[in-house]
Amino acid sequence: MIKKAIILLYVLCAGFCCKEPNDDDCSTVLCVANLQTVSFIIVNADTKENVFSSEKYSIEDVTVTGGHNSITVELFDNSETIFLQLSENFDVGTYTYAISIGEANEFDLNFVTERSPPGGCCGNTLTIKTMEVQGIVHNFDYSYQIPTILVE
């Protein structure tokens, strides 16, 4: 009899204590948005100054070719620094760009995008998996750190 009661108690606990996979309460979760822009901080290799903040270069000095679709290149000032941002309709895949800043600064940018694992509150989000810039490979674990690029 005690054995049956223990088994019944175990079955009841297992039935009532387990959450359904779709029962996540996401009302208080702030998720990262799908990848829309890729940002960089561009600094002078000698002075370590942001080349756009110091006005050595402007957006007119930037040329970007490559990608899959129409690309938008702009500067974004968040009051702490100025970022160079590339925007296009990103999807899962590999992206390759050739970027020139002024006449003496050319480099290639390659990155691979993927979707985060499905499920949970923030699953299936488009992110950068790996990025190579100036020959340095950056691996991202579903997060994105803004790379700093050194130029002359």
Domain boundaries, the chain: 30-151
Distance CA 36, CA 91 (A): 9
Average pLDDT, the chain: 84
Share of the chain above pLDDT 90, in %: 46
Q: Which of 28-32, 98-102, 117-121, 134-138 has the highest mean pLDDT?
A: 98-102
**126 and 34 Cβ atoms separated by less than 8 Å:** yes
Give the pLDDT band of residue 92 (cuts 50, 70, 90): very high
Nearest to 21 by CA among 122, 119, 116: 119
Segment 114-136 shows an average pLDDT of: 89
Cα 53-55-61 angle, rounded to 5 deg: 110
Classified as helix, coil or strand, 112 is strand
pLDDT given at position 90? 92
- H-only helix segments in 1-152: 2-17
pLDDT given at position 5? 46
